[in-house]
Amino acid sequence: MSDPKRVHNFNPGPAALPLEVLQQAQAEMLDYKGTGMSVMEISHRSKEFEGIIQTAEADLRELLGIPSNYKILFLQGGASLQFAMLPMNLRAAGSADYIVTGTWSKTAFKEAQKLGTARAAANTEADGFKSLPAKLDLDPKAAYLHFTSNETIHGVEYFNEPTPPAGVPLVCDASSDFISRPIDVSKYAFIYAGAQKNAGPAGVVVVIVRDDMLERTPANLPVLLDYKALAASGSLHNTPPCWSIYITGLVFKWAKQLGGLSEIAKRNKAKADLVYKAIDESGGFYRGHANKEARSVMNIPFRLPSEELEETFAREAKSNDLIGLKGHRSVGGMRASLYNALDVKTAESLTQFMREFQKKNG
């Protein structure tokens, strides 16, 4: 077989997967471990699938250092369904606090306002979602404090968790920086992440929930919205997204083999440093969206001097096999997403292109 064409993939999500993972999936596609069937063709109650989901869970537990009093769930409906399930399960009749730092936390906040009380502990929208809030207005009685560790569209990232008032559980949408660096899970009561940014294909969302949070679930919720029931069935109340869980499990294994999250964090920092250096040394030709102290290691939105130049940049980048660099329409310009699967060479190819493009057009 000839080598397949692979491009430098900066897509924001669904996004690049490690080549080794795709190759392993390819090798196992027609005959998973001697079953004579693909993972897509076996029962979710089979011992093979039991092995897949249990291994994925064990590898994630090791990778993130998840304590034993937390459950790991593999759910459907994306991070967007979590925006609704969270308040339904954890808020009861109380009020929840939200830190609004970009499109995704704003959306989570809006969903939480539909079925009960939610308040903004901070909102940086008036400043264009470029920074983390300087201070928080926290409710000491809040059912939980929700934040988004990385705003995928605005490129603003929390490197240290916000501190909730004593007794208020910390809840995090980690969709776009999940397993990008080590975190102290014990600071959190609840973490969720759509897999398709940094951990796998679309179709599965990973939830890490502290056991005591499960006791908050009210009695009358439909079962597929009920964390307690989903945890009790080991994410197997109904047919789970078997294939997505399988690939996500392979990504966890790949991350472990690469040296774990401290090694991955180093790689990610090296990639982001390269791109930010190209922006900072461009004399204003490239302008990053986020303020320096908050800028994301995962997603780097940036503008050029004109929309015409941005069009040309995207077109010429594409013809150089640099794919997925067009920014989100709400911010405009370009966005480089540098998830775990991208290697340092890919970031180098981008910065080399950026410098050459500036030389020609600056």
For the annotated catalytic residues, the residue numbers are: 104, 173, 197
The verdict on 176 binding ligand PLP (CB under 6 A) reads yes
Task: For residue 101, state whether it binds ligand PLP (rule: CB under 6 A).
Answer: no
Residues in contact with 285: Cβ distance below 8 Å, sequence separation at least 6, in sequence order = 304, 305, 358, 362
Going by the DSSP 8-state scheme, the letter that residue 174 receives in this structure is -
Query: Would you say 13 or 327 has its CB closer to ligand PLP?
Result: 13
If one asks whether residue 301 binds ligand PLP (CB under 6 A), the answer comes out as: no
Least Cβ distance, residue 273 to ligand PLP (angstroms)? 22
CA distances from 18 to 52, 141, 170, 198 (A): 18, 43, 31, 10
Q: What are the CA-CA distances from residue 361 to residues 72, 283, 321, 349 (Å)?
A: 50, 13, 20, 18
Bridge partners, residue 171, by sequence: 146, 190
227 near ligand PLP (CB under 6 A)? no
Q: Is 175 near ligand PLP (CB under 6 A)?
A: yes
Residue closer to ligand PLP, measured from CB, 103 or 282: 103
Q: Answer yes or no: are the C-beta atoms of 151 and 296 closer than 8 Å.
A: yes
Q: Is 14 in the site for ligand PLP (CB under 6 A)?
A: no
Q: Which residues in 260-299 contact ligand PLP (CB under 6 A)?
A: none
Number of H helices, E strands in the chain: 10, 14
| Residue type at position 177 | D
Binding mask 59-78 vs ligand PLP (x if CB under 6 A, - otherwise)?
Answer: -------------------x
Residue 152 makes contact with ligand PLP by CB under 6 A: yes
Binder among 8, 9, 10, 13 for ligand PLP (CB under 6 A): 13
Q: What are the beta bridge partners of residue 71?
A: 209
Residue 157 engages ligand PLP in binding (rule: CB under 6 A): no
Least distance CB 118 / ligand PLP (angstroms)? 16
Taking CB under 6 A as the criterion, which residues in 15-34 touch ligand PLP? none
| Paired tokens of 78 | 């994306």
CB of 186 to ligand PLP, least distance (A): 22
Residue 227, judged by CB atoms within 10 A of its CB (0-12, 13-18, 19+), counts as: buried
Q: Residue from 59, 173, 226, 310 that binds ligand PLP (CB under 6 A)?
A: 173
Residue type, 21: V
| Residue closer to ligand PLP, measured from CB, 11 or 55 | 11
Secondary structure of 270-314 in the HEC alphabet?
HHHHHHHHHHHCCCCCCEECCCHHHECCCEEEEECCCHHHHHHHH
Residue 197 lies near ligand PLP (rule: CB under 6 A): yes
Rounded CA-CA distance 318/312 in Å is 10
Per the structure block, which two tokens stand in for 27? 């090798």
Residue (298 or 304) nearer to ligand PLP, CB: 298
Distance CA 220, CA 263 (A): 44
Of residues 59 and 151, the one with the C-beta less far from ligand PLP = 151
Q: Which residue's CB comes closest to ligand PLP?
A: 78
- Total residues interacting with ligand PLP, rule: CB under 6 A: 12
Among 46, 80, 117, 361, binds ligand PLP (CB under 6 A): 80
Of 85-93, 173-181, 210-218, 246-254, which part binds ligand PLP (CB under 6 A)? 173-181
How do 156-157 and 150-151 pair as beta strands? antiparallel
Member of 9, 124, 148, 268 binding ligand PLP (CB under 6 A): 148
Q: How many Cβ atoms from other residues are within 10 Å of residue 34's Cβ?
A: 7
**Interacting residues with ligand PLP (CB under 6 A):** 13, 78-80, 104, 148, 152, 173, 175-176, 194, 197
